[in-house]
Amino acid sequence: MEELKKVQERVILFAAQKKNLKEEAAWESLDELEELVNTAGGEVVAKVLQRVDSINPGLYIGSGKVEEIREMAALHDVTGVISDDELSPVQMRNLSEALGIKVMDRTLVILDIFAQRARSKEGKLQVEMAQLKYQNSRLTGFGAMLSKQGGGIGTRGPGEKKLELDKRHIRTRMELLQAEIDQFEKHRQLLRSRRQKNSTPVVAIVGYTNAGKSTLLNTLADSDIYAADQLFATLDPTTRAVALPSGSEILLTDTVGFIRKLPHHLVKAFYSTLEEAKYADIILHVVDASSEHLATHYEVVHETLKSLGITDIPIITVYNKIDKVNEHYLKDEQAMQHVEISAREKKNLEGLLNILEEMLYEKMKAFKILIPYAQSDLVAFCHAQGERLEEEYLNEGVLLSGYMHSDLFYRIKDYIVD
Q: Are 85 and 134 in the same domain? A: yes
In a domain, 142, yes or no: yes
Please give the residue that has the higher pLDDT: either 250 or 273.
250
CB 191, CB 272: distance < 8 Å: no
Q: Are 255 and 373 in the same domain? A: no
Q: List the domain range (segments joined by +) for residue 250.
A: 200-361
In a domain, 21, yes or no: yes
In a domain, 247, yes or no: yes
Q: Residue 9 pLDDT more than 70?
A: yes
- Per the annotation, does 233 bind a ligand? yes
In a domain, 39, yes or no: yes
- Per the annotation, does 212 bind a ligand? yes
Give the E-state strand segments of 127-243 in sequence order. 156-157, 161-162, 202-207, 238-243
CA distances from 370 to 82, 216, 355, 386 (A): 69, 41, 31, 14
- What confidence tens digit (pLDDT) does each residue in 15-29 have? 999 988 899 999 999
Q: Are 252 and 334 in the same domain? A: yes
**Euclidean distance between CA atoms 199 and 350, whole angstroms:** 23
CATH number of the domain that 347 lies in? 3.40.50.300
Amino acid identity of residue 135, one-letter, is Q
Q: Are 320 and 398 in the same domain? A: no
- Per the annotation, does 209 bind a ligand? yes
- Per the annotation, does 211 bind a ligand? yes
Would you place residue 1 in the very low, low, confident or very high pLDDT band (cuts 50, 70, 90)? Answer: very low
Nearest to 204 by CA among 278, 130, 134: 278
In a domain, 3, yes or no: no
In a domain, 398, yes or no: yes
Half-sphere exposure of 375 (CA within 13 A, CB side): 17
- Give the lowest-confidence range in 45-54, 178-187, 260-269: 260-269
- Per the annotation, does 207 bind a ligand? yes
Q: What is the mean pLDDT of residues 254-279?
A: 77
Calculate what percentage of the chain has a pLDDT beyond 70.
84
In a domain, 187, yes or no: no
- Per the annotation, does 317 bind a ligand? no
- Per the annotation, does 288 bind a ligand? no
Contacts of residue 155, Cβ cutoff 8 Å, sequence gap at least 6: 4, 146, 149, 162, 163
CB 258, CB 208: distance < 8 Å: yes
- Per the annotation, does 343 bind a ligand? yes
pLDDT at residue 4 in the model: 44
CA distances from 279 to 144, 187, 272 (A): 43, 15, 11
Q: At what angle do helices 63-75 and 89-99 cross, to 10 degrees?
A: 50
Q: Are 36 and 155 in the same domain? A: yes
- Per the annotation, does 322 bind a ligand? yes
Q: What is the mean pLDDT of residues 129-138?
A: 86
Q: Are 374 and 240 in the same domain? A: no
Q: Are 32 and 161 in the same domain? A: yes
Q: Are 157 and 99 in the same domain? A: yes
Q: Are 207 and 102 in the same domain? A: no
- Give the lowest-confidence range in 31-35, 64-68, 399-403: 399-403
**Strand partners for 401:** 368, 390
- What confidence tens digit (pLDDT) does each residue in 339-358 have? 999 999 999 999 999 999 88
Q: Residue 276 pLDDT more than 60?
A: yes
- Per the annotation, does 254 bind a ligand? yes
In a domain, 258, yes or no: yes
- Per the annotation, does 38 bind a ligand? no
pLDDT at residue 3 in the model: 47
CB 156, CB 107: distance < 8 Å: no
* Domain count of the fold of the chain: 3
- What confidence tens digit (pLDDT) does each residue in 305-346 have? 988 888 889 999 999 999 888 665 656 555 557 899 999 999
Would you place residue 7 in the very low, low, confident or very high pLDDT band (cuts 50, 70, 90)? Answer: low
Kindly report the pTM of this predicted structure.
0.79
Please give the residue that has the higher pLDDT: either 186 or 67.
67
Nearest to 287 by CA among 261, 313, 257: 257
- Per the annotation, does 219 bind a ligand? no
- Per the annotation, does 94 bind a ligand? no
pLDDT at residue 159 in the model: 60
CB 329, CB 322: distance < 8 Å: no
Q: Residue 278 pLDDT more than 70?
A: yes
Q: Are 343 and 379 in the same domain? A: no
Q: Residue 363 pLDDT more than 90?
A: no
pLDDT at residue 51 in the model: 95
- Per the annotation, does 199 bind a ligand? no
**Burial readout 366-398 (b: 16 or more C-beta within 10 A, e: otherwise):** ebebebeeeeeebbebbeebbbeeeeeeeeebb
- Per the annotation, does 213 bind a ligand? yes
Calculate what percentage of the chain has a pLDDT beyond 90.
44
- Per the annotation, does 137 bind a ligand? no
Q: Residue 108 pLDDT more than 60?
A: yes
- Per the annotation, does 320 bind a ligand? yes
